[in-house]
Amino acid sequence: MKKIVNDPELVVEEMLQGFVAAHPNDVKQLPNTTVIARKDAPVSNKVGLVSDGGSGHEPAHAGYVGEGMLDAAVAGEVFTSPTPDQVFEAIKAVDSGQGVFLVIKNYTGDVMNFEMAKEMAEAEGIRVQQVVVNDDVAVEDSSFTTGRRGIAGTVFVHKIAGAKAAQGGSLEEVKAVADKVVANVRSIGMALTPCTVPAAGKPSFVLEDKEMELGIGIHGEPGIERKAITTADQLATELTQKVLDDMNLSSGDEVAVMINGLGATPEMELYIVNRKVSEILSDKGFKVYETFVGNYMTSLEMAGCSVTLLKVDQELKDLLEVQSKALAFRR
Amino acid sequence: MKKIVNDPELVVEEMLQGFVAAHPNDVKQLPNTTVIARKDAPVSNKVGLVSDGGSGHEPAHAGYVGEGMLDAAVAGEVFTSPTPDQVFEAIKAVDSGQGVFLVIKNYTGDVMNFEMAKEMAEAEGIRVQQVVVNDDVAVEDSSFTTGRRGIAGTVFVHKIAGAKAAQGGSLEEVKAVADKVVANVRSIGMALTPCTVPAAGKPSFVLEDKEMELGIGIHGEPGIERKAITTADQLATELTQKVLDDMNLSSGDEVAVMINGLGATPEMELYIVNRKVSEILSDKGFKVYETFVGNYMTSLEMAGCSVTLLKVDQELKDLLEVQSKALAFRR
């Protein structure tokens, strides 16, 4: 295992310390928790937004904390859901009386722990609503999940629900727009190499020298198919088609595109993928509203990428444009 | 070689096509060149800024094209300097009559080809000035370079010289502040794994399973020392000390810090490195003005990082704050 770490058991805590040391004017770590919150949380008269996830997906989730996106991110251990008490601390820290909205990726542990945290918060009189993101079209059930998994499309939920909250939207309005994003966003990923959880010390799975896996999850959960590596164009075609097959787009519809790197894939390759994805969309008569290329939702040092399409209408486009000061999504 | 590519000989051209397809409102590719320029270039009454480099360092350099940073970036083949005629095209495209400023990393080919392009431009009456960035303290001469190499510190030159030009600074004023950055910025890198140039098809060098190399260049040029992988804290201490040894900082001085990933290193590990770097700087009485953590100047899929320190005064701090709309450095 070649990693730049100290104690593999302490990577999350040390990462969070390094994060706060890097951005002390933007964020704070809640004492004795793994919660990173906006420095100025709770923000008065605003619905608070909380997201979470196991660590190892950086910049998700702390990188999306900031004005216009999340108020707090709860970090679990690597690839492990945060505990309910940690989520509860985050909820309390961002509630200004307008209620708190939770963005949850559809993994069994995350959903269960957020539900428990929600009950704890409601018992203290805090209004809580939530959305469960399940954008991954690859498989219906998987090792971590009942139903479809939540992957890179979650970043669009953070952005758009965060913008709605920043504009003063009510808890119900934030939920409505988050539900709209979830209904209109689809993704699929693929990997060339596995990744290694530091505390495990060895790769989570094995891929042969010339092999890739389509539909893999962001924790290395099994996908649809292992096969010989194809060209970038063939790959982009296959991924885009699988996403489109699950959407109901008509000629003239507009989409936002995210070509997401899983951690170790050079930006060069992501742009080569985008070249073909944008060509396919154009050939089919769909209009690309905006394209995001980079490492948005990673799996440690996994090599691979995912393709996300979000069908946008005027409301979603307007919310995408709203200023964000989140470190990993500035606009 | 596990890469998402089509023809290894076409990776640069296809990447540039994918880049323009992703960001058509921000940038344009000059016809029949590998030059990416601001969509609105040349910008009237502004010094034009051009940088360059072999490809494989993404988001450098096209990611730094945009209001407040570069007017154009010239892409060479992977790890290969762009030719003088390409640089000349970039100079012509961004000159609004106020002259053009070139940011060159100190590699023999880059310096030579930029000098030739400068002569071609001057023969056409375009005023050209330049700075050669040589922030890497690792080695004096190397396989690609006479003198010290230019690495991640170059991004600070883009940012600060770009801000000066955006504020209406003259060619001489842009050069003066770029020279000031170069005089005050130092870096050093390290790698855990090599990278593979697509057209070569095999890694540029070999590192054993538990081995790392200190002082390595962004093209895999030899560094100072190969040794067993240490802890993140030991590594951060060694890198920071080597940089500080080459600077003349006094207690109370302020620095900007960049913890740069070389391509395949998870952000988690970069923040763990930053945790120790920020602690060392604080212990020595230096004040961290701002910290940048991420993939700013990469080496394809090399795993590793670099540490850059820039001593800042009020002028440099003010220029760091100026708005930038470059895709990879938004603020």
Q: Confirm or reject contact between B261 and chain A (CB < 8 A).
A: no
The CA-to-CA distance between both ends of chain B, in Å, stands at 37
Residue B6 CA to residue B75 CA, distance in Å, equals 19
Active site residues of A: 57, 219
Q: Do domains B10-184 and B185-321 have the same CATH topology?
A: no
CB contact under 8 A, A263 and B259: no
SS3 of residue B15 by DSSP:
helix
- Note which residues in 191-250 of chain A have CB less than 8 A from chain B: 192-193, 209-210, 212, 229, 231-233, 235
- Note which residues in 50-79 of chain A have CB less than 8 A from chain B: 55-56, 58-59, 63
Positive/negative CA dihedral, B287, B292, B297, B298: positive
Q: How far is A82 from chain B (nearest CA, A)?
A: 17
CB contact under 8 A, A295 and B267: yes
* Overall fold of domain A10-184: Rossmann fold (3.40.50)
Set of chain B residues whose Cβ sits within 8 Å of the Cβ of A226 = none
Set of chain B residues whose Cβ sits within 8 Å of the Cβ of A268 = 11, 15, 55-56, 58, 300
Active site residues of B: 57, 219
Nearest to A266 among B193, B263, B273 (CB): B263
Q: What pLDDT score does A145 carry?
A: 79
Best of A267, A270, A293, A301 to mutate (most B CBs within 10 Å, chain B): A267
Q: What pLDDT score does B53 carry?
A: 87
CB contact under 8 A, B193 and A269: no
What angle, 0 to 180 degrees and rounded to 10, lies between the N-to-C axes of helices B314-321 and B154-166? Answer: 80
Q: What pLDDT score does B144 carry?
A: 75
Select from B14, B72, B153 the least CA-distant residue to A266.
B14
Nearest to A193 among B2, B16, B56 (CB): B2
- Note which residues in 264-293 of chain B have CB less than 8 A from chain A: 264-276, 278-279, 288, 291-293
Q: How far is B23 from chain A (nearest CA, A)?
A: 7
Residue of chain B nearest A231, judged by CA positions? B6
A304-313, B89-98, B141-150, B317-326, range with the lowest pLDDT: B141-150
Residue A88: φ, ψ to 5°? -60, -45
User: Could you tell me the pTM of the whole model?
Assistant: 0.98
The helix (run of H) or strand (run of E) holding residue A214 is strand A211-214
Would you say how long chain A is, in residues?
A: 331
Set of chain B residues whose Cβ sits within 8 Å of the Cβ of A295 = 267, 295
* Per-domain boundaries in chain B: 10-184, 185-321
CATH 3.40.50.1220 is right for the domain spanning B185-321 = no
Residue of chain A nearest B8, judged by CA positions? A231
CB contact under 8 A, B264 and A264: yes
Percent of chain B with pLDDT over 90: 95
Query: Could you report the average pLDDT of every consecutive run of 10 residues in chain A (331 residues)?
Result: 95 98 98 98 98 95 98 97 97 98 96 97 98 95 83 98 98 98 98 96 92 94 93 98 97 98 98 98 98 98 98 98 97 89
Tell me the per-residue pLDDT of B214-229, one tens digit each, with 9 for 90 and over: 999 999 888 999 999 9
Complex prediction ipTM: 0.97
Residue A151 CA to residue A315 CA, distance in Å, equals 23
pLDDT confidence bin for B141, thresholds 50/70/90:
confident
Identify whether the C-beta of residue A109 lies closer than 8 Å to the C-beta of residue A137: no
CB atoms within 10 A of CB B313: 11
What angle, 0 to 180 degrees and rounded to 10, lies between the N-to-C axes of helices A154-166 and A171-184? Answer: 150
Residue A128 CA to residue A103 CA, distance in Å, equals 11
